[in-house]
Amino acid sequence: MAAVSGLVRRPLREVTVRDAINQGMDEELERDEKVFLLGEEVAQYDGAYKVSRGLWKKYGDKRIIDTPISEMGFAGIAVGAAMAGLRPICEFMTFNFSMQAIDQVINSAAKTYYMSGGLQPVPIVFRGPNGASAGVAAQHSQCFAAWYGHCPGLKVVSPWNSEDAKGLIKSAIRDNNPVVVLENELMYGVPFEFPPEAQSKDFLIPIGKAKIERQGKKTKIYRHPSILVKFNLEVTVINMRTIRPMDMETIEASVMKTNHLVTVEGGWPQFGVGAEICARIMEGISKKLVLEYSQAIVNIMYLNTYRIKRLKARSGQTTSTLNLSCVQFPGCSCCSCHWC
Amino acid sequence: YFGRPRQVDHLRSGASRVLVASRNFANDATFEIKKCDLHRLEEGPPVTTVLTREDGLKYYRMMQTVRRMELKADQLYKQKIIRGFCHLCDGQEACCVGLEAGINPTDHLITAYRAHGFTFTRGLSVREILAELTGRKGGCAKGKGGSMHMYAKNFYGGNGIVGAQVPLGAGIALACKYNGKDEVCLTLYGDGAANQGQIFEAYNMAALWKLPCIFICENNRYGMGTSVERAAASTDYYKRGDFIPGLRVDGMDILCVREATRFAAAYCRSGKGPILMELQTYRYHGHSMSDPGVSYRTREEIQEVRSKSDPIMLLKDRMVNSNLASVEELKEIDVEVRKEIEDAAQFATADPEPPLEELGYHIYSSDPPFEVRGANQWIKFKSVS
């Protein structure tokens, strides 16, 4: 990333993901008085992970509500308030606890617009940290992208950096549908450059569009120990941003160019997001792909653990360039996996 | 969301349809009603109430309409024109009509799956209800909801998951308080649902935040096939709110229900927080159309309630004995109601089903159209909001 001489580079602000979500919620609370936040420790504690810091001081008890430890109860209350015309943000301290309330998310929120024949919308946001964290053990580490991504009527987004976080939370709050926002606790404290457009109060990222973070950038050389072949990796990294509705167009366009696909997620592989992407590729463009190598489809589970299914070298060559599309929804810090 | 002109406010219209009889009737009469059992309350609803002739005729017509509508649904179900779930509320008419009589149209109501009576009292027509039961496009949810998912202005269904509607109702009450408009939310559940944990979570938050929520337990003695003695360690459902004051009400007497509702609504509107009402009532049908209703209770019991406590009979006797109406006049109303139900049933049987192309509609609200995958990759449905 050499600096281009002759151009003056304006320094960009650095904002952590936590502050970006905070900003997004603050702006939406200010913009529309029907918006309010409820959840455990969101008010006087400033948020279990300090994401809602300062909001209670600014908006008071009416708009920022501390709830007792009653997920099913307060999620139902939030959905009921949405049905009656308010625009609640319901925080789950982690999405693991949303399992207690999952009936309200699916049966009361997601399905209602359909079952009412279009009469009763439910403009609610469910947000909170999802997936792996540091040493929190099995009960607190599950990724719910596949579970929520399965259900029609829900929108599911997963921001990676600060720009994603602010733009997506604002779009989610303004959306008239139930939106599940899967954040990640490990990313909360990570600062990112905040481009000037992200500093606007109307900065929105559309739900349903993936972003190409990096186009075929040359990366480090990888060598698999059992194959005496070197690969140069030209990885196009696609940040999904939205799990449902999934942006297959962007993924397909990239895979058509590269002919290889790696999906990365923090959830278990069976029936996962990667499985769905592979199924759609198989149903869709797979016949048009030129498969130079046999499939190298990898599901990465938890950080830095991977297994390569099959890699066959093209005969007669000692080095080759492997083009890869790497589709991720980083709710985890997948940027530290070996591929990139 | 509900700017639909078809909706009718039944309680506040229709009086002009009653023929002026040649006899002189009393304008109103005072009746004694059963005293309610109280929990954490010093005073309860009054033990006498005034019923005007106009109101009496309205309540009679509405209860008779609900009764006939449910019986028609039974008939259509046996003819296999209605299929799937169908939970009937005949016997419980005093509850839906009495509750509506005690509140305003601007108040809110949510209940579980035994919802046809409430759908009517909240303003939808019998036509729309029966057409929804038969799954036709003229139904109130365009045929996509069915028996358990009917919605109207300030009526939030129709909810299939037992107990889930109670936190929803507390949430609607939160919105009432948030908007500062003096409205209340009636949140209904049954004696079976009363043992759900989420109801106690809702009690806690409603009391903590003083939400204007009237929790109403419609105790018809049986949760599906399980009698209350076999399901609950305490069958005093009006006390189960613990720190929430409660009343136990005779749910077969429409005037008792009306007075108790007025009392409870005034309590909530004064900002004191939630209150709980247990309506002791009875259903003549089984739990649903697939339940004959006699394996867990005796026919004698059903017959006894029908002959001694039928809500329509009780109102009729009161009105006739106090010269508020004549037997002939009420019979005329019966005939009109029967005709209305017949017409509605005709419509519900003849109306076409929603078109298959619209199968994917209404997945998302306020979104541009998109495509939905069907049963295989070559079948696509369009989805319009």
β-pairing, B185-190 vs B108-110, is parallel
Both tokens of residue A38?
């409820």
Instruction: For chain B, list the strands marked E by DSSP.
Output: 28-32, 37-39, 48-52, 108-110, 185-190, 213-219, 222-223, 226-227, 246-250, 275-280, 370-373, 380-383
Average pLDDT over residues A93-107: 97
pLDDT at A287: 67
**Closest Cα partner for A100 from A70, A77, A127?**
A70
Residue in chain A lying closest to B4 (CA): A119
Confidence band of A286 (pLDDT split at 50, 70, 90):
confident
Residues B200/B211, Cβ–Cβ less than 8 Å: no
Q: Comparing C-alpha atoms, which of A89, A84, A78 is closest to residue A35?
A: A89
> Would you say residue A66 has pLDDT above 50?
yes
* pLDDT at A60 exceeding the cut of 50: yes
CA B244 – CA A122 distance, rounded (Å): 29
Q: Express each pLDDT in A253-276 by its tens digit.
A: 998 888 888 888 888 989 999 999
Span B1-60, pLDDT tens digits: 444 444 556 666 554 445 555 578 999 999 999 999 999 999 999 999 999 999 999 999
pLDDT bin (cut points 50, 70, 90) of residue A215 is confident
In tens, the pLDDT along A160-178 reads: 999 999 999 999 999 999 9
Query: Is A83 in Cβ contact with B172 (below 8 Å)?
Result: yes
A71 in active site: yes
| Arithmetic mean of pLDDT, A326-335 | 55
Which of these ranges, A278-287, B121-130, B135-144, B229-238, has the smallest mean pLDDT?
A: A278-287
Quick one: tokens of A225? 């120990």
Residue B98 has pLDDT above 80, yes or no: yes
Edge-to-edge strands, sheet with A299-300? A211-223, A230-239, A319-328, A261-264, A299-300
- C-beta neighbour count of A272 within 10 angstroms: 21
Instruction: Single out the residue of A91, A89, A83, A92 nearest to residue A63, CA to CA.
Output: A89
Q: What is the Cα Rg of chain B in Å? A: 21
Q: What is the pLDDT of residue A306?
A: 29
Domain ranges of chain A: 14-199, 211-285+295-301
Does domain A14-199 fall under CATH 3.40.50.970? My reply is yes
Write down the pLDDT at residue A241.
Answer: 94
Options 3.40.50.300, 3.30.1330.80, 3.40.50.920, 3.30.565.10; CATH of A211-285+295-301: 3.40.50.920
Supply the Cα-derived Rg of chain A in whole angstroms.
21
pLDDT in tens, B306-333: 999 999 999 999 999 999 999 999 999 9
- Is the model's pLDDT at A305 over the cut of 80? no
pLDDT surpassing 70 at residue A316: no
Q: Residue written as tokens 């992970």?
A: A49
**Quick check: helix, strand or coil at residue A38?**
strand
Q: Of A71, A183, A185, A276, which is the active-site residue?
A: A71
Average pLDDT over residues A235-254: 92
For residue A308, is pLDDT > 80?
no
Residue A5 has pLDDT above 80, yes or no: no
Checking if the pLDDT of A226 tops 60, the result is no
Q: Distance from B271 to chain A by nearest Cα, in Å?
A: 15
CA torsion B72→B73→B78→B82, rounded to 10°? 140
pLDDT higher than threshold 60 for residue A240: yes
DSSP string, A219-274: EEEEE-TTS--EEEEEEEEEE--EEETT-HHHHHHHHHHH--EEEE-SS-STT-HH
Contacting residues of A for B173, CB less than 8 Å apart: 80
Q: For residue range B271-304, what is the model confidence (pLDDT) as tens digits?
A: 999 999 999 999 999 999 999 999 999 999 999 9
How many A-B residue pairs are in contact by the CB < 8 A criterion? 151
Fold match between A14-199 and A211-285+295-301? yes
Number of Cβ within 10 Å of residue A23's Cβ equals 21
Provide the shortest C-alpha distance from residue B176 to chain A (in Å).
8
Instruction: Note the pLDDT of residue A304.
Output: 25
Average pLDDT, chain B: 94
Would you state the structure tokens that stand for residue A24, as one six-digit string? 């997004």
State residue A285's pLDDT score. 80
Which of B378 and A299 is assigned the larger pLDDT? Answer: B378
Domains and CATH numbers, chain B: 26-353 (3.40.50.970), 357-384 (no CATH)
Residue A191 pLDDT exceeds 50: yes
**Which of B142, B164, B367 is nearest residue A103 as measured by Cβ atoms?**
B164
pLDDT, tens only, B154-169: 999 999 999 999 999 9
Which residues in chain A touch residue B378, judged by CB atoms under 8 angstroms apart? none
Q: What is the pLDDT of residues B171-215, one digit of tens each?
A: 999 999 999 999 999 999 999 999 999 999 999 999 999 999 999
Distance separating alpha carbons of residues A48 and A67, to the nearest angstrom: 13
Does the pLDDT value for residue A296 go beyond 80? no
What integer pLDDT is reported at residue A298 of this predicted model? 37
Q: What is the pLDDT of residue B9?
A: 65
**Rounded Cα distance, A230 and A55, in Å:** 53
A309-323, B118-132, B150-164 — which is least confidently predicted?
A309-323
Q: What is the pLDDT of residues A102-145, one digit of tens each?
A: 999 999 999 999 999 999 999 999 999 999 898 899 999 999 99
Burial of residue B53 (CB within 10 Å: 0-12, 13-18, 19+) is: buried
Residue A307 pLDDT grade (very low, low, confident, very high; cuts 50, 70, 90): very low
In terms of phi and psi (left: phi > 0; alpha: psi -120 to 50; beta: otherwise), the region of A135 is: left
Chain B residues lying within 8 Å of A108, measured CB to CB: 159, 161, 164, 168
Query: Looking at CA atoms only, how far is residue A254 from chain B in angstroms?
Result: 21
In order, the DSSP letters of B70-102 are HHHHHHHHHTTSS-S-----TT-HHHHHHHHHH
pLDDT above 70 as % of chain B: 94
Measured in Å, how far apart are chain A's first and last C-alpha atoms?
16
Q: How confident is the model at residue A198 (pLDDT cuts 50, 70, 90)?
A: very high
Q: From A102, which residue of chain B is nearest by alpha-carbon distance?
A: B164
Q: Provide the pLDDT confidence category of residue A234 given band limits of 50, 70 and 90.
A: confident
The model's confidence at residue A289, banded by pLDDT at 50, 70 and 90, is low
* Contact between B159 and A79 using a beta-carbon 8 Å cutoff: no
The model's pLDDT over B25-42, given as tens digits with 9 standing for 90+, comes to: 999 999 999 999 999 999
| Three-state SS annotation for A88-122 | EEEECCCHHHHHHHHHHHHHHHHCHHHHCCCCCCC
SS3 A330: coil
Average pLDDT in chain A: 83
Q: What is the mean pLDDT of residues B363-379?
A: 94
Most A CBs within 10 Å: which of B108, B132, B215, B363, as the mutation test of the A interface? B363
pLDDT > 50? residue B230 = yes
By percentage, how much of chain B surpasses pLDDT 90?
92
**Shortest alpha-carbon distance between residue A270 and chain B (Å):** 21
Residue bearing tokens 């008239």? A176
Of residues B217, B213, B89, the one with CA closest to residue B148: B89
